[in-house]
Structure 1
Amino acid sequence: MNARIPPLVGADLWQAVIRAAAGRCQCRGTCGKSHAKDGDRCGREHGGYQQHHGGGTVRLLAAPAEPADLLLPPHHVAALPKQALAAWCPTCHDAALTAARRTERAAAPAAPDALFDL
């Protein structure tokens, strides 16, 4: 996949999300970074070059815009409307997903230790 070729599955939806984002990652700090030097929005663009995290060409993802929705199973994510999706660079997506998992674990009640239940 290069800068002009969309993914094989869901190409129309992916193109609509990326077009709405003007080809730029829509993260505004959900990943844990302020993105202050980029106007409070991640500066990575689809087809651009990333200097960090292994370098290479940036390939934007169309994924849920809400952090909690990042934890949905794939078949639920596939059913989300275009308005519930955002363009994410892989670095911001992975960091936001990790943060959402951490939040979910912190909110979950502690399971009793069955080994010592009497």
Structure 2
Amino acid sequence: MNGRTPPLGDITGLWQAVLTAAAGRFQCRGTCGKPHAKDSGGRCPAVHGGYPRHGTGPVHLIAAPADPDALLLPAHRAAALPKRQLAAWCPACHDATRRHTRAARQAATPPAEPDALF
């Protein structure tokens, strides 16, 4: 997959629309916990099809919910979101944002009361 070839299943053109709206750059602004460089406007500096600084293979865009809380939606609900609610994520920022969001949600949920035996 390169910048011109959409992933399998992009029959609606949604992935391509998200990529175009993001100008081929990932849109994370630090919700992943990394302080993205100020020279990149606070956005993740990764570019679709480019290589990250740590030398792994090319990075590919993930079209996923823009709202970090929506990243925890079941896949069938996330897939039904309209284009305006999607953003371009690099896999590292996507996974880190999901972990941070899940941890924050668990921390905010009070522990369940144990059932009393008597």
> For 1:78-97, what aligned pairs fall within 5 Å after superposition?
78-97=79-98
How far has the Cα of 1:66 moved from its partner?
0.3
DSSP 3-state at the match of 1:63: strand
> Contact 2:59–2:90 (CA<8 Å) still a contact in 1?
yes
DSSP 3-state at the match of 2:64: strand
- 1:43 counterpart letter in structure 2: P
- Distance in 1 (CA, whole Å) between partners of 2:93 and 2:29 is 9
- 1:70 counterpart letter in structure 2: L
Q: Which residue of 2 aligns with 1:65?
A: 66
DSSP 3-state at the match of 1:32: coil
How far has the Cα of 1:36 moved from its partner?
2.5
> Contact 2:26–2:45 (CA<8 Å) still a contact in 1?
yes
Q: Which residue of 2 aligns with 1:51?
A: 53
- 2:8 counterpart letter in structure 1: L
For normalisation by structure 1, the TM-score amounts to 0.90
- 1:9 counterpart letter in structure 2: G
> For 1:14-29, what aligned pairs fall within 5 Å after superposition?
14-29=15-30
Q: Which residue of 2 aligns with 1:31?
A: 32
Name the structure where helix makes up a greater proportion of residues: 1
- Distance in 1 (CA, whole Å) between partners of 2:47 and 2:37 is 16
Q: Which residue of 2 aligns with 1:109?
A: 110
How far has the Cα of 1:112 moved from its partner?
2.6
> Contact 2:37–2:45 (CA<8 Å) still a contact in 1?
no
How far has the Cα of 1:4 moved from its partner?
2.0
How far has the Cα of 1:107 moved from its partner?
1.4
- Distance in 1 (CA, whole Å) between partners of 2:35 and 2:49 is 23
For normalisation by structure 2, the TM-score amounts to 0.90
Q: Which residue of 2 aligns with 1:99?
A: 100
- Distance in 2 (CA, whole Å) between partners of 1:59 and 1:50 is 11
Q: Percent identity?
A: 61
Structure 1: tracts of 5 or more residues without a match:
none
